[in-house]
Amino acid sequence: MAAVGAAGLGGAYWTLMSPYSQLLGSFPYRGRGDRREVALTFDDGPNEPHTSRLADLLAGADVKATFFQVGRCVERHPEVTSRLAADGHVIASHGYAHQFHRCWTRAALRQDLTRAGDTFRRHLAHPPALYRPPWLLRVPGLPSLLREAHLTPVSGEFCHVLEVMQPRPERIVDRVMRVVQPGSILIFHDGFDARGGDRAHTVAAVGHLLSALPDAGYRFVTVDEMLGIPAYQ
């Protein structure tokens, strides 16, 4: 009985939260494998001072990234979102509240998506067309809601399974260099949920990767470039 229960939980996790599951519709986690391209993506921001430090590093390397931002964090740091957009980075939606209980019912999801869309419309010339659900959680009602909101879901692969817990920068870098492949969409976190938090190790790791990945023959692209889809509505 315990084995059956464990198998059921494992199946539910794979279906609802795995970066790779396509059981609830298209959820691209990687681009084409014939191009040595990699997309850097950042979730849960903006979160100061770490998002601005990432922006400085990216500007110094002339690299564009994709930021899946939380609406309530955009309200907290609108100037950071404006700076990222002005620098040519792609601003994508990570919902409004980043609260687990808002990810399960159609009513809660619709409210979260609507409030996030309203927030982005106030701070961007055009609302995002790309969406990454918090915790990568998809429920059966989400695909139709995303179609209503004109949003395309995007997955990715975690740069390090414990990156949210801030392992040493060299551990993050080592893991990325071991698993990266042409078409990788790498998930980092410049925030934590919607509460902020210290992301100094992520910033340091990205600073190293901005030279290590090109040295390994990779070029940086944004998610919309990699997948050939619109970034904005």
Domain extent for 105:
27-227
15 assigned to some structural domain: no
Q: What is the chain's mean pLDDT, rounded?
A: 94
Query: What is the CATH classification number for the domain harbouring 161?
Result: 3.20.20.370
Q: Are 29 and 156 in contact (CB under 8 A)?
A: yes
pTM: 0.95
201 assigned to some structural domain: yes
208 assigned to some structural domain: yes
- Dump pLDDT digits (tens) for 11-46: 788 889 999 999 999 999 999 999 999 999 999 999
- At residue 7 the predicted structure's pLDDT band, cuts being 50, 70 and 90, is low
- Dump pLDDT digits (tens) for 107-149: 999 999 999 999 999 999 999 999 999 999 999 999 999 999 9
63 assigned to some structural domain: yes
222 assigned to some structural domain: yes
Confidence at residue 48, expressed as pLDDT on a 0 to 100 scale: 97
19 assigned to some structural domain: no
- State how many domains the chain has: 1
107 assigned to some structural domain: yes
